[in-house]
């Protein structure tokens, strides 16, 4: 559960853009140091004294910087003047494979015997990125990779970060879209990245050269709202548009096939074998397709209504969650203040859990994720963003809504939209409506 020092940290993060506007490195150093001190001196301390400190801290910051309501405009101004916002290519990616391999093995050994609360005690801030000038609607770690993170933003750009470089760094900013970027996905080998945008363009990027190698756009442009690679054959990319169409693109030939389900296609997800595709729209409908990998054709299978005019903003598929839950599952965010876990059956979707989170606006693409290595231990957990600026860790084995929240992170000061784990769960990335990306690290043993 969250503690008062996290609320203090959230206030510091909210006002951080006001400090040293032309020196982003100083801002990052300051907020990381504040996090370190607050964790060191704030754990297991009297909450009454900390609540009083929180009130005084807010008052002092308001006296010095004014109301935080104009933070967004100040952040955008500081981003324009920061060196990070103008540099588009950085030095070659410096991997720390040996060190991170040891950390991954340590993570597996530690989590095997811990309680579920201990396993997901993410409290420390590893790094904060603020290279984007508008909302970062999705963050996604590369497949089987601990370091490379893709961020997409409403400022029409895509960024790739190396979170394990020393210090963590921005590798590049990809510029090619002329509208808010709405979706991204890594290819199976991480050599390609696909992005979709409201400008109607589907862009395929080479992640080694950071060059756009293919752009696909209809003669009459249609807003693209989501995209995903086929998990087995990366020649196929699937995109969802504002006309209710699910499009299958063959990158090699440029051929397209479409299937119409209505609404605006906000979310897409394949199963592991690429046999079944799930698509969610802004009308509360989830449709499953059978995908013919030989020709890329979609055949409608089932259509399920999850709520009246409630946007389905995120879909995640998982073969099995834990030793206690070995059925295929679907994790869905719906703008009716809920994140739901469904069991996938031959007859369709069977609701297993329904958790309340603050999510009422279909314009906020709140996302959630399964925890990558949950099957190695007892219990199971999901992580979701929320419009109340918090990140929630939820135990899906718990029937009680209040007891299901095993951790809550409060470092953001605006709705949390994107969440993503690296594959060994050593780091969690979250993004918000103001363009801030926070990399969280697991609590060290003994702290």
**Confidence at residue 304, expressed as pLDDT on a 0 to 100 scale:** 93
Query: Could you give the CA distance from residue 136 to residue 132 in angstroms, rounded to a whole number?
Result: 7
CA distances from 423 to 189, 263, 438 (A): 14, 33, 17
Query: Could you give the CA distance from residue 78 to residue 55 in angstroms, rounded to a whole number?
Result: 27
Which element (helix H / strand E) includes 71? helix 71-81
Helix (H, G, I), strand (E, B) or coil at 15: helix
**Confidence at residue 350, expressed as pLDDT on a 0 to 100 scale:** 92
Tokens of 366: 């709140």
**Confidence at residue 97, expressed as pLDDT on a 0 to 100 scale:** 39
Query: Could you give the CA distance from residue 250 to residue 234 in angstroms, rounded to a whole number?
Result: 9
**Confidence at residue 236, expressed as pLDDT on a 0 to 100 scale:** 96
Which element (helix H / strand E) includes 326? none
Phi/psi at 393 (nearest 5 deg)?
-100, 120
The answer to whether 185 and 205 have CB atoms below 8 angstroms apart is no
The answer to whether 47 and 106 have CB atoms below 8 angstroms apart is no
The answer to whether 183 and 196 have CB atoms below 8 angstroms apart is yes
Q: Is 197 left (phi over 0), alpha (psi -120 to 50) or beta?
A: beta
Question: Which residue numbers in the chain have pLDDT < 70?
Answer: 1-3, 17, 21, 24-25, 42-46, 66-118, 321-326, 374-379, 443-447
Which element (helix H / strand E) includes 35? helix 24-42
Query: Could you give the CA distance from residue 262 to residue 285 in angstroms, rounded to a whole number?
Result: 9
> To 10 degrees, what angle do helices 4-15 and 47-65 make?
10
Which element (helix H / strand E) includes 301? strand 297-305
Query: Could you give the CA distance from residue 380 to residue 397 in angstroms, rounded to a whole number?
Result: 7
Q: Which of 339, 347, 349, 264 is nearest to 309 (CA)?
A: 264
Query: Could you give the CA distance from residue 316 to residue 330 in angstroms, rounded to a whole number?
Result: 6
Q: What angle do CA 430, 170, 24 make, to 5 degrees?
A: 85
Q: Which of 151, 139, 7, 153 is nearest to 76 (CA)?
A: 153
- Per-residue burial over 75-85, b if 16 or more Cβ lie within 10 Å, else e, is bbebbeebebb
Instruction: Using the structure block, give the residue that is written with the tokens 């597996």.
Output: 108
Helix (H, G, I), strand (E, B) or coil at 59: helix
CA distances from 13 to 75, 128, 410 (A): 12, 10, 10
Q: What is the dihedral of CA 159, 164, 167, 169, to 10 degrees?
A: -10
Q: Which of 332, 307, 305 is nearest to 317 (CA)?
A: 332
This prediction has a pTM of: 0.77
In residues, how long is the chain?
Answer: 447
**Confidence at residue 164, expressed as pLDDT on a 0 to 100 scale:** 94
pLDDT tens per residue across span 255-287 = 899 999 999 999 999 998 899 999 999 999 999
The distance from CA 349 to its chain's CA centroid, rounded to whole angstroms, is 24
Query: Could you give the CA distance from residue 215 to residue 232 in angstroms, rounded to a whole number?
Result: 22
Q: What is the DSSP string of 303-352?
A: EEE-STT--EEEEEEES--BTTB-S-EEEEEETTTEEEEEEEETTEEEEE
The secondary structure of 113-178, three-state, reads HCCHHHHCCEEEEEEEECCCCCCEEEEEECCCCCCEEEEEECCCEEEEEECCCCCCEEEEEEECCC
The answer to whether 31 and 131 have CB atoms below 8 angstroms apart is no
Which element (helix H / strand E) includes 99? helix 97-113
Tokens of 182: 């709405």
**Confidence at residue 93, expressed as pLDDT on a 0 to 100 scale:** 35
Instruction: Using the structure block, give the residue that is written with the tokens 């996290």.
Output: 6
């Amino acid at each position: 559960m969250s503690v008062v020092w996290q609320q203090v940290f959230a206030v510091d993060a909210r006002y951080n853009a006001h400090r040293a506007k032309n020196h982003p490195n100083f801002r990052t150093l300051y907020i990381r140091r504040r996090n370190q001190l607050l964790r060191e001196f704030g754990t297991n301390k009297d909450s009454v004294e900390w609540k009083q400190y929180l009130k005084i801290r807010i008052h002092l910051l308001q006296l010095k910087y004014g109301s935080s309501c104009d933070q967004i405009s100040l952040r955008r101004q500081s981003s324009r003047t920061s060196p990070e916002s103008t540099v588009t290519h950085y030095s070659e990616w410096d991997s720390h494979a040996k060190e991170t391999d040891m950390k991954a093995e340590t993570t597996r050994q530690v989590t095997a015997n811990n309680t579920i609360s201990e396993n997901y005690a993410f409290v420390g801030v590893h790094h904060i990125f603020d290279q984007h000038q508008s909302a970062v609607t999705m963050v996604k770690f590369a497949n089987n990779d601990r370091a490379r993170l893709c961020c997409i933003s409403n400022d029409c750009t895509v960024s790739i970060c190396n979170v394990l470089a020393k210090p963590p760094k921005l590798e590049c900013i990809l510029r090619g879209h002329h509208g808010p970027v709405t979706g991204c996905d890594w290819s199976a080998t991480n050599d390609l990245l696909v992005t979709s945008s409201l400008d109607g363009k589907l862009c395929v990027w080479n992640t080694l050269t950071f060059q756009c190698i293919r752009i696909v756009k209809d003669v009459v442009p249609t807003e693209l709202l989501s995209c995903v690679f086929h998990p087995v054959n990366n020649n196929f990319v699937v995109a969802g548009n504002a006309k209710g169409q699910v499009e299958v693109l063959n990158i090699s030939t440029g051929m397209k096939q479409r299937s119409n389900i209505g609404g605006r296609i906000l979310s897409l997800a394949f199963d592991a074998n690429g046999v079944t595709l799930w698509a969610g729209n802004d009308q509360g409908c989830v449709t499953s397709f059978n995908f013919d990998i030989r020709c890329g054709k979609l055949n409608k299978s089932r259509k399920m209504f999850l709520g009246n005019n409630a946007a389905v903003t995120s879909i995640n598929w998982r073969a099995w969650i834990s030793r206690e839950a070995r059925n295929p599952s679907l994790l869905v965010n719906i703008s009716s203040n809920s994140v739901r876990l469904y069991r996938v059956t031959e007859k369709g979707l069977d609701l297993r859990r329904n958790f309340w989170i603050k999510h009422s606006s279909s314009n906020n693409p709140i996302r959630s994720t399964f925890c990558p290595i949950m099957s190695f231990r007892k219990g199971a957990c999901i992580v979701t963003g929320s419009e109340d600026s918090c990140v929630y860790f939820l135990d899906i084995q718990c029937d009680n809504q209040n007891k299901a929240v095993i951790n809550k992170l409060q470092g953001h000061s605006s709705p949390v939209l994107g969440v993503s784990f690296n594959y060994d769960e050593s780091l969690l990335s979250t993004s918000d409506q103001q363009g801030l990306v926070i990399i969280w690290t697991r609590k060290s043993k003994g702290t």
